[in-house]
Each structure stands twice: as structure tokens, then as C-alpha cells.
Structure 1
Amino acid sequence: MHNKLNQKKKSDIAPKDITKSFFVSLIIIIVIFTTSFWFIYNRQINQINQEHLEQIESQIIQAKKDYLKTAVDRTIVEIKQIEEFFSNKFPSDSAYVRSQVKKYIKNHIRQNTLVDSGYIWINKIINYEGGDDYAIREVHPNLPETEGQFLSTHTTDIKGNTPYLTELQGVKKYGELFFTYWFKEFKTDQISQKLSYAKLYKKYDWIVATGIYLNDIDTLIENELKHDELLGHKRNNLTLVLIGLTLLITLLIALFYKKHLTKTFRFYTSEVEKRENKLQEINDSLEQVIAKRTYQLSESEKRYKAIFRNNQSIMMLIDPTNGQITDANSAAVKFYGYDYKTLTSMSIGKINTLPTEYLSKAIQSTAKTSSVYIFKHKLASGEIRDVEVYSEAMVFEEKKLLFSIIHDISELRKTKQELVIARKKAEESDQLKTAFLANMSHEIRTPLNSILGFTDLISTPDISAKQQELYSKIINSSGEQLLRIIDDIIDISHIESNQLKVSFESVSVNDLIKEIASVFRNTLDSKPENSVESHIYIPDESKDYIIETDTLRFTQICNNLLGNALKFTDEGQIEFGYKTKYDELEFYVKDTGCGIPKDQLNLIFERFAQVTRNEYREGNGLGLSITKGLVHLLGGTMSLKSEIDQGSTFFFTIPFTGVIQVKVSKSKELN
């Protein structure tokens, strides 16, 4: 019985039947292949031809555009050459000379023609807003009867295009443009599409333009189509011959190897039978191995779960496809503050503060290779903690998951940031101290040298009384300068240690401003060759404001700002005044000096810092820092605006307590 089944099986797969089916299948495959090849080939050729025609058309139009632009640009160059010729010959810029130049230019353009399609023409713009008389025709050699006529932006051609409106809008916005419209050909009644180029000559408000017809493009394209069609017929015939030869050669080779194929099929049929029996034996052995390995894997998973649950480190399993937390150990439940059921029903995106798109990229990257990230995780209490996450892909219960171990590094990062800030502050402090000592050494040595030097000179017996008086003044001035330096150092130390006391009293703003300005003006007048003017600004002389402030410290603030403005203003003016701002008065000192670079605006109020450009300016770098500290003590704020080579304006505010009316004479001026 078994032999009969084997014989029946062999008869079912006789080599003759196999070869017959093989040849039929081969013929079908070849027919399908040749048909598909023919279809794809023709489609590709048609697409190439279409792209070729579009490229030719684009090249022709571009060539015409280049031709028109060259003609107009050449004409404008000639206009400028004519103007230059007349300006050299007739230096006078009278209206008569200008009219004669324009007249000569127009006559010149009437004779400057284009061979292909007409002339250069000029439209003079009267109204850039359009309308029925937006322009007038100045020159048109092709249509001389239109010269002197008004043009309307409402004019349309047979296709509804508005060429004059398009021309006006184009030159108004871009200064030049290409545009198309339909127009009657010269010396014929045929209306064809025309390509024009117009360019604005702003000096005269002239639109210089020219055009060329596009009716020759269709003829060129048609000739190219005929040429492509002829080439296509030749390619098709050649392709058909090659396909026929391929079919014939394939069939001849198949018939030649028919017997060999039959023997080959018979051999492989018996081999397949033998190998099927061997594969069955191998399959039985593999099933036994798999059963054994499955048991071992089950035991391994049990051990893993025990280690995972009881580990002190925070651990979670995450589904990389959707970010779902599939499992978490006791340490994770305790750290995040959610119960186990809530935590394992959440997505990691609810905990991780990273934007969704960046978090998805991190998960996908981890799914490919292990990685370590620094994230911010949100706890159930709303607290944000910095964490270091080590993740690696693993297969658990036949599903790919991400195994993550999480370490809380919030305190570590906080400590590190504090150390960085402390180190930066220490370095800055060290640099400031070094700069301050060097600056103080110079600033103190300068007046001391003057005092010592002129003290020696004044003791010389043969000096005159006038020289003695001069040396005394220099010694006195140097002593005052040294005293100011010491006062600045004392003031900044008192401000820094919050030991500076202020005494508030009610003060009239207008009187105080005028008094400070008067002293400053006397300082300017006493300087030889002074090129700086001073002005004060009081918004309303009929109103005076009462402020509660320390008069001495307020005066010190104003004098510091005025002195600083004078130091950096070689010529121009310094303005001092105030304006009302809500429930405060905003005082300001504005100069026309060298200005402060934008990248140094934040440094100007720092202690010991000086913001200068190339030249040296004396000073210890404490004035503005003291000024800002005094403003804060008086309950105000301070700011500044500055531009290089334009000057600077320093503002400070002081709260005011009331307004009083003051009668002021009309003849009174503030200067």
C-alpha cells in the first residue's frame, strides 16, 4: 500500500508535467514582461519629450527676456551718457537746459529701434496711484499718433488683461518687470501675444519699455514635435525588433535545454523527498530542546521578577510603541507618590516634562541601543526632580520593552550649580578687586604726585607771586580730587554694608533743579575753551512738585550724572530735567557724547567698572555704582539708553507727595 502511495505521488509530479508547466509559465512571464516594458518605455519617452518641449519653450522665452532687458538697459545707459555730456558742456542746471536735454533724449530714442518687433517707448508717470490719467505717452516711434495722449490703468486688451495697471504696479514696487498682453502687430491687423519689459527711470519718472511678440514660439514647438514624432517611430520599430528577437532566442534556448531540465527535475524530486524525512527528524529534536529552554526561561523570569520587585533602585518597564508604563517596582511607587495601579496605567509622558516629540525620539533611540539621559520628572505632589535614566531594550514575555533604572540627582545637580555660581562669583570678585586696586593706585597716585610736586615748587625762593598762587590752586584742586576719591570709597562701602543713613525732608523740585543746574553751568563757564552747552527742562513752570528726599544725596546723584556726562562729552549739549511718570517723577541727564556699546550696558553700573572706548578717561569706576545705590536708598529706580556716537540718557525716579501751583512770569526762560 505504501509503495502504491509513493508511485501515485511520483506520478503527480512527473517531470514531463513540470517542464510543460515551466514552458507555459515562461512564455506568460515573457509576454507580461515585454508588454510592461513597452508601456513603461513609451510613457517614459513621452514624458522626456514633454519635458524637452517645456525646456525649449522656457529657453526661448528667457532668451527674449534677456534680449528685451539688454535693449532697455542699453537705452538707459545712453540716456545717462547724454545727460553727462550736456552737464559737462552746459554746467548750468536751468529749466531750459533740462528741457533741451529731455528733448534731445526723446529724439535719440525715436531713432533707436529693435529689429524684431518695434521700438523703445517711454511713458511718463503723472500719478503713481493709477486712474484714467496716471501717465502720458512721451515717445512711441511705432505709434507716433499716441504721443501726448493720457494713458489709463483701466485699459484692457482682448483677453481682459490690464497692461498699463500691471506696468504701473510693477515699476512702483520693484522698479522693473516683465508682463504679457495681447496687441495688434505692427503694419498688420493680426493680434498676437506680446512680451514687454519696462523699467523706471526715477529721475524723470519715465517708464522706458520695449516688447516682442511670442507668436513664433508655437511654430518652433510644432517643428520640434514633428522631429520628436519621427524619432519616436524609429525607436518603436527598433524596440519591436529587439523584443521579437528576445522572444525567439528565449524559446530556442528553452527547447534546447528541455531534456536536461527533465533530468534535473527528476533528480531534485528524489532529493527533496529524502531531505523532507531528515527535516522531520530535526524538527522533533528541536521541539524537545524548545520545551527544555521554555522551562529554563520561565524559571529565569521568576528570578528576574523577584529581583525587580525588591530592588532599592527605581525601576520601570516601558512600552516603546506608546510610552505606556507596563510595570514598576516598589521603589518607583514610593518615589513618584502614585499607587501601583495608577502608576502602571500612566504614560511616561505624564511624568517626563520633555516635549512629546523629543521624548518620542529618545524612546525610539533607546529601543535601538542602550542609553543614558538626564530628564526632569514630575512627582504626584507636583514637585519636579532631576533624574538620570539608564534604559536598555529587552524582550519580556515575548514583547519588546524598555528596562529603565532611575536615579534621583536633584540634590547633586543643585549642589553642582551652586558650586559653579559660587566659583563664577569668586572669579568675578577677584577680577574686580584686582582692577580696583590697579585703578585706585593710579587715581590716588595722580593727585598725590601733583600735591608733592607743586609743594616742592612752591617752596622755591625765586618764584613769583603769580606762580605761587597758580601752584596753590593746583595743590588745592589735587587735594579736593583725592578727597573725592576717598569719599567715593567710603560711600560705596557704606552702601554695600547698608550703613549709609539718609535724612528725608520735603523739597521743591523746581528750585532744587535750578540750583543744581546753576552750579553746573558755572562749572562749564569756568572751563577754558568749553564747547558744551547746558539746558534744563521743566515740563510746566506753573506747577511745582514736592518730594520727600535727602537733599544732599539727591544733589550728589545729579552732580555725579552731570559730571559723568561732561567727562564723556567733548562738544554738543547736556540736558538736565524731569518729567511726570504715574506717581513718580522721572529725572534725566541727556548728553551728546560718545555713547556706550550695547554689549556693555549691563556693566556700566558695576563697581570698579569703566566703560570707555579707545581714549583714557580718568575716574575710579565707582561714580555710577554709588549713584545707583543712592537712588535705591531714596526709593527710586535707575535706567539708561545709549547709542554709539549719539550720546546717552540716564534716568532715575523719585516718588512725589504733592503738586503746588506757581505763578510764573511769561518773560522767564529756562536755559
Structure 2
Amino acid sequence: QDAPATALVVVAAPESGMEWAHHERILDALPVGSFRTRLGDGVLLGVNDELVAFADAPSKAALRGRPATEFYATPAAREEIVATLRADGVVTETELELETLAGNTVWGTLTAVTVTHDGTTVVDGAIRDVTERRQLETELRQRARRFRRMFKHHSAPMLLIDPDSGGIQNANDAAAAFYGYSVSELTGMTVTDLNTLPSGALDTHRGQAEEGERNHFVFEHELADGERRTVEIHSSPIELDTDTVLFSIVVDVTERADYEARLETQRDNLDVLNQVLRHDIRNDLQLVLAYADMLAGELDGEHADYIERVLESADHAVELTKTARDIADVMLTDPDADHVMSLRATLEAELAEVRSSFPSAAVTVDGSIPDVTVHGNNMLDSVFRNLLKNAIQHNDQDSPDVTVSADCTDDNTATIHVADNGPGVPDAQKDAIFGKGETGLDSDGTGMGLYLVDTLVDSVGGRVTVSDNDPTGAVFSVTLRTGP
């Protein structure tokens, strides 16, 4: 941008004389304001279109004959420019605060030379508008001042880190209090003096933060007294004083990390206990079933009814261990494990299994199952399995009749209905039956299956309800979000 000013001076100083108009067409094409003034009184002799716009003037005529002193924000600035021109004959890229005819404050950089002809000295010059740049610089300086005030007085430990070397360029008072070093001591250290990770690994993490690939880290930091604390670091690159630094906020999460570690250990222990108990219980139940089967062929009458009841109870207990396993899996499932899966394939697989396990029950599909994907997880099959078995096992009819239907709606959901001809669910218990351990009216079950259904459906953003079937029975409806 220096080139236009230099070119202007060359063009504006013809050897043939002092005529400005001869070069006005050339000067009007320049992207900078051009002018000629008398050195003595500063009266404007000529201007180009760009200077007219810069000065908020209606025309060139409105500027000609005006003293240049009107446009200087301070008289001292003009006097300094004149003194330099008298002494050196030239000023180069001198930044000035100016005022336009409309009273607006603007900034420009002035380049000018003196030319003497027939005993008269004039000044040919060019002025470039740098108002926006100055405003931006002022705004950046103000932001930097506000940031530094916030940085120093904030209650959270904060560090400014050189992304290349890892050197700590600045630290606030909270960081000094947390680490046990003074601010001046911290600014003479690098992050490797605090972090227990090897320097090579830290270099990689700093690179990720600088590139914006990652801004959240969990480290172990060592304090001045040798104590080690688990910290979360939130680090992002910012521009400060024309340099890029990593602005890092330090959060002490030692207690939380210890608590989470204890929970993880407890969860693992409970998982092992659950597996062991289910394994041992099922082994004992297998013995009960085996001996009961042998006795069933030897007894008749009332005793045969007793053995049949034993077999039913043992089978139910085996199902309970499976449900307990599913509930444990739900509790250990990652909340982010939600993904889309085929509704038709999942439901048809469970229908086939239930028909095989309960040949005396009539399990039919009303219409067709929509070929859509729904939001679920790897345990969605347990939802349909429990509802289908519940409709058969808790049915008081000699021939359980179960009808499955499904439909999609305009609100991006699919609803699956499982209707039975059993005793139904009283209105007073329609909400309670999904609670943990609720058995429902006159039921020999534990209610864990419906609790599992409600928990699984809720975990993927769905809902399950129960209503009356016509003329008798209940309809369980599961609504799921359709994919993707």
C-alpha cells in the first residue's frame, strides 16, 4: 500500500509547472486521497475524488481554498508535519488523527514532498484511510485489557502457555495459590514441570489444542509440595498481543476422580457378584427341574399337581435370572450406546422365539411390521421378549391370544402394540406396574420384566404405556424414535 503514495508524488510534481488540473484525471484513478497545498498557509490548491470522499466533502470545489489546518485534530500535529517538510522536504507514512467536514474523526497515513517552482513552495501529498484498522486495533487493545483483568482476578487457576515450547508465559493469582508457586516462579517454568506425563506426550497434546482438534484433557499435576492432583485442563488457542497462546483453565477434579474410581470398583464387584449368584442359582434350579421331571412321571393326583407347580416356579425362577442379567446389563450400558436398528428384524426374531417356546399360545401379527429403523441398543430385543412373554405367562385363559401390530406416525416415531386376552390391568395400577418389583393384581410374577422394559425404552428416548384391550386383556404400547 506504499506504492500508491509514491506514485502520486511522482505524477503530482511535473517538471513543466505547477498545474494540478493537467494530472487530475490520473490522480482521480488512484485509490488514495491526493492533494496539493501551499507550504506557507496550507491552503488546498487541488484534490482528487478519493480525498473528497475521505473528507466528507460534497465536491472538490468545497475543499479548494480551505486551509489544511481545519482537518488536523490537533494544531501541533500540523506544525510538526510542516517543520519536517521544511527541514527534509518529505514525510513518509506518518499517521495522523483528522476531522472531516462532517465532524467525524478519521485516521490517515500521510506521505508528502515539497516542490518549488517560480519561488513558490507547494506540498504534493497522498493520504491513506486507516480508520478501520485503527478502530480494530483499539478494540483489540481494549479486549486485551479486559482479558488481562479477568485473567488476573478470576477464581479459577489459569495459565497462558506457549504452544511451541510449553513455556508458561503468564499465570493468575489463583494458579499461584493452587500450585504453591509465586506467579513469577510459574512464568519461569514449563508445563513439563507440572505435568507428570512425558514431554513427548505433552507436545502431542499441545499440538492438538493449538490446532483445535481437542480442548479438554485430564492430567495429573504435581504441586510445589510434591502432592499430586488430578486436573481437567480446558485449553484453547487465542490471539494476544499478535501472538498465539494457549489459554488454559485448570479445574481440580481429584475428589471426583477418586469417587468415580471407587464407583467403578464397586460396579465391577457388583457385576462379579451378580454373575456368581445367577450362575449358582441357575445350577441349583437345573437340579430342581431335573428331579422334579423325574418325580412327575412317578406321581399322580394331587401330588402330580404339586410337582407341576414346582416345575412352573422353577421355570419362572430361571426366567428371573435372565431378567436380572438384562437389568444388570442396562445399568452398565453406556448412555451414549443409542443407535439405529431394524424394527422389523428385531421384532420378527423375538416373535419366532416366543412361538417356539409357547406352542400353545396364538401369537399373530395384525398387518405388517414397518420396515424402518428405530433408536435402540443391543438390548432392544429384551423389550419385545419381555412384553410377549408377559402377555402369555400372565394370561388366565386356556388359550393365550397375543396380537402384535405396529405403525409409524408423522412425528418420526414408531409404536408397537402387544395386545393380549388376559385379565387386563386395573386403572389404579396402570402407572405402578412399571415400577421395580411391582407384580400387578393377582400375579405370581415379580414385576421385574416390566421394570426392565420401562428402563430400556426410557434409556433410548422412548416411552411405554398400557391400556385396555377390547373385550378383555391389556395392550402394551412401545413408542420409539425412528432413525436415522
Sort the TM-score into its range (normalised by shorter chain).
0.3 to 0.5
Query: Going by fraction, where is helix more abundant, 1 or 2?
Result: 1
Which structure has more relative contact order (CA 8 Å, sep 6+)? It is 2
TM-score (norm 1): 0.25
